[in-house]
Amino acid sequence: MTDTTPAPCAPEDVRRVACIGAGVIGGGWVAHFLARGYDVTAWDPAPDAEDKLRRLVAAAWPALEQLGLAEGASQDRLTVTATLAEAVADAQFVQESAPEKLELKRSLLAELDAATPPGVVIASSTSGYPMTDMQPQHGDGADPGRLVVGHPFNPPYLIPLVEVVGGESTAADAVAWSSRFYDVAGKSVITMDRELPGFIANRLQEALWREALHMVANGEATVKDIDDSITEGPGLRWAFMGPCLTFALAGGEGGMGHMLDHFGPSLKSPWTRLEAPELDRELRDAMVDGCEEAAGERTYADLVAERDQGVIDVLRATGRLGGTAR
């Protein structure tokens, strides 16, 4: 990555966002940015794109009202343009959400780079391709330094997570600018320092998902067993406490260190079809340090109380306490 500074305005000063591609993901982005009070221009080559997009935004709006609209937020601040060039002409940030086809993404991003005002960051929603494979080459007026990946989760107007990462030619400043912008725009950002197929959350999801497929294939569990085992078990905690801290809590006062020192060897047992990593000192310490950092000032008792209250709140919220059925 290079280090040129591309941004024409501070992330806090962005007022107008362009969304290119208005399907489920692109339309979800439009709804999100509108709800956060931005002016949004959108473009999609499909002939009925505007109708579909406005219906998607209208359908999402009651949910967005529940989440809390920013001051001045309105569906009326959406402009659907006839051309890509019009959509990005005055944009201070561009979010591309075209179908996952490599050649399409490459030519579209080159076209966007040519049409978008100098220095404005262009982010791709891709879940499948590293930016290195999609961004234009230097030269011929191209500015690959401002292209980043901003990978959302469906629907982008509800699930906070965005994974941000640059390609080989991306400027470090463009990554930092994007992360800050998404943060200001109400997303939860993970900034990655390298391109990694599947990013982080999808790799974790996929590991669980593959094990589920093995179990169904072997007749060991049904689809219902698998879904119930998560929603009635660990899924209740994962809504607010991640797998690392949850595992650490199971170690009582001894935390992650106790768990790894005592149960580490059993990770090598052939329970799952996933190859176990070497649990050396370095990995052990990285896990322990990470959990201690995550706990911060909170004691074990604090964390247990937080977990218990969280589970109760989630059970109540999802209608699983007596008398509160949804």
Was 26 annotated as part of a binding site?
yes
Contact partners, residue 293, CB within 8 Å, separation at least 6: none
Asked if 58 touches its own copies (CB under 8 A), the answer is no
* Closest distance of CB 325 from its own copies, Å: 12
In which order are the strands placed within the sheet that holds 188-191?
78-80, 39-43, 16-20, 93-96, 122-124, 147-152, 161-166, 188-191
Beta bridge partners of 18: 41, 94
Q: What distance in Å separates the CA atoms of residue 183 and residue 199, rounded to the nearest whole number?
A: 18
Given 17, 149, 164, 236, the residue binding its own copies (CB under 8 A): 236
Given 158, 172, 176, 184, the residue binding its own copies (CB under 8 A): 158
Closer residue to its own copies in complex, CB, 54/264: 264
- Contact set for its own copies, span 24-53 (CB under 8 A): 24
Given 71, 103, 322, 325, the residue binding its own copies (CB under 8 A): 322
Query: Contact, 34 vs 57, CB < 8 A?
Result: yes
Q: What distance in Å separates the CA atoms of residue 243 and residue 206, rounded to the nearest whole number?
A: 15
Asked if 132 touches its own copies (CB under 8 A), the answer is no
Contact partners, residue 282, CB within 8 Å, separation at least 6: none
Asked if 154 touches its own copies (CB under 8 A), the answer is yes
- Contact set for its own copies, span 173-212 (CB under 8 A): 188, 190, 192, 194, 196-212
Asked if 299 touches its own copies (CB under 8 A), the answer is no
Asked if 321 touches its own copies (CB under 8 A), the answer is yes
- Contact set for its own copies, span 10-29 (CB under 8 A): 24
Using DSSP's 3-state secondary structure scheme, residue 6 falls into coil
Tokens found for residue 285: 């310490």
Was 27 annotated as part of a binding site?
no
* Closest distance of CB 96 from its own copies, Å: 20
Asked if 317 touches its own copies (CB under 8 A), the answer is yes
Was 14 annotated as part of a binding site?
no
Beta bridge partners of 317: none
Closer residue to its own copies in complex, CB, 85/221: 221
Burial of 105 (0-12, 13-18, 19+ CB in 10 A): buried
Burial of 249 (0-12, 13-18, 19+ CB in 10 A): buried
* Closest distance of CB 199 from its own copies, Å: 8
Asked if 302 touches its own copies (CB under 8 A), the answer is no
Q: What distance in Å separates the CA atoms of residue 324 and residue 326, rounded to the nearest whole number?
A: 6
Was 24 annotated as part of a binding site?
yes
Given 55, 234, 265, 302, the residue binding its own copies (CB under 8 A): 234
Was 72 annotated as part of a binding site?
no
* Closest distance of CB 255 from its own copies, Å: 12
Residues making up the annotated binding site for NAD(+) are: 21-26
Residues making up the annotated binding site are: 21-26
